[in-house]
Structure 1
Amino acid sequence: MSITREGRMCSFCGTSGGPGTDVQLIGGLGAQVCGTCVDDFHALLHDPVQHAAAKGAFPWDRMSDAEVLANLSMIMASAEQNTAFAHEWVDLLRERNISWAEIGRALGVSRQAVWERFARKGSDKSATA
């Protein structure tokens, strides 16, 4: 199994990216960031005026209710992307013969709880391992 960036989006601006697009995504552990956001954050961090203005201010504090609502679908898409990424990691661990009990311990839950959340019904023949 190979974990790819195909079909992913930038977790910060929502731009679709990855192979087959002009948007290169970098990052890992679920969060992906596009080059434009990296450049924007780099500029912000290295400009004392921008950095001071951004410090402590949250973007949603400056948004209208309509803007917050408009961003909700992107936030849900990012959350779903991270959930899918977690499933890919669990699939990778199962392919490496890591037991459900070990995965559960890593997540701080029981073997049964992790199996119920991550087992691909019908595709994992070793559900009890």
Structure 2
Amino acid sequence: MTEPTPKRSRGEARARRKTERAIGKPLPKTLHCSFCGTSQHKVEKLIAGPRGVFICNACVSLCDNIISGRPLPLYAGFAPLEQPTEELVEMVGSVALASDANRDFLQSLVDTLRGREVSWAAIAEQLGVSRQSAWERFS
């Protein structure tokens, strides 16, 4: 069973509206960390990044450990089969939002490169696809 959604503070509601305006689409009811998939209700803080990407305080701490060169704990990875169905359903919106943002960003990069007359072959090489596939996907 999913957790009841706590009432948002005025500041949280304002931040949510600001993020929605910035990305040009509504946010899912429940947000998730784009890195570990944890629900906003199970973390202390969830920080909005560019283009609808979010990171939780635990992932920020892990990043800090990596940057500082401290040893890292073993990461078991995300195991969807072990997650309750309700949590997976809630996660779909957040994952779709991040996916859309990445797709839009990639399209913008390709458009910029093509504007600079970078060849489809060079772009395709970086994407690990054929020149034809890159052209069909991004032209």
What TM-score, normalized by structure 2, do the two folds share? 0.50
Does 2:16 align with 1:11? no
Q: Give 1:93 shift.
A: 0.6
The letter of the residue matching 1:11 is S
The unaligned stretches of length 5 or more in structure 1 are 1-5, 16-22, 120-129
- The percentage of aligned residue pairs carrying the same residue is 29
The unaligned stretches of length 5 or more in structure 2 are 1-21, 28-32, 41-46, 66-71
Evaluate the alpha carbon distance shift between residue 83 and residue 66 of structure 1 in structure 2; reply closer, same or farther with a 3 A threshold: same
The aligned residue for residue 136 of structure 2 is: 116
The aligned residue for residue 126 of structure 1 is: none
Q: Is the 8 A contact 2:110 2:138 kept in 1?
A: yes
Distance 1:58 1:82 in 2: 20
Distance 1:55 1:104 in 2: 32
Task: For 1:52-71, list aligned pairs within 5 A.
Answer: 55-56=75-76, 58=78, 60=80, 63-71=83-91
Q: Is the 8 A contact 1:14 1:74 kept in 2?
A: no
Identify, as 1 or 2, the structure richer in helix: 2
Task: For 1:1-129, list aligned pairs within 5 A.
Answer: 6-7=22-23, 11-12=34-35, 25=49, 32-34=53-55, 37=56, 39-43=57-61, 55-56=75-76, 58=78, 60=80, 63-119=83-139
SS in 1 for 2:92: helix
Distance 2:78 2:130 in 1: 37
Q: Give 1:105 shift.
A: 2.2
- Count of aligned pairs between the two proteins: 96
Q: Is the 8 A contact 2:23 2:52 kept in 1?
A: no
RCO higher in structure (CA 8 A, sep ≥6):
2
SS in 1 for 2:23: coil
Q: Give 1:94 shift.
A: 0.8
Distance 1:89 1:56 in 2: 33
Distance 1:110 1:74 in 2: 30
What is the alpha-carbon root mean square deviation over aligned residues? 3.7
* Per-residue deviation, residues 42-99 of structure 1 (Å, max 9, x unmatched): 44677xxxx86x8426474663111111211221221121111111110111111101
Distance 2:129 2:80 in 1: 33
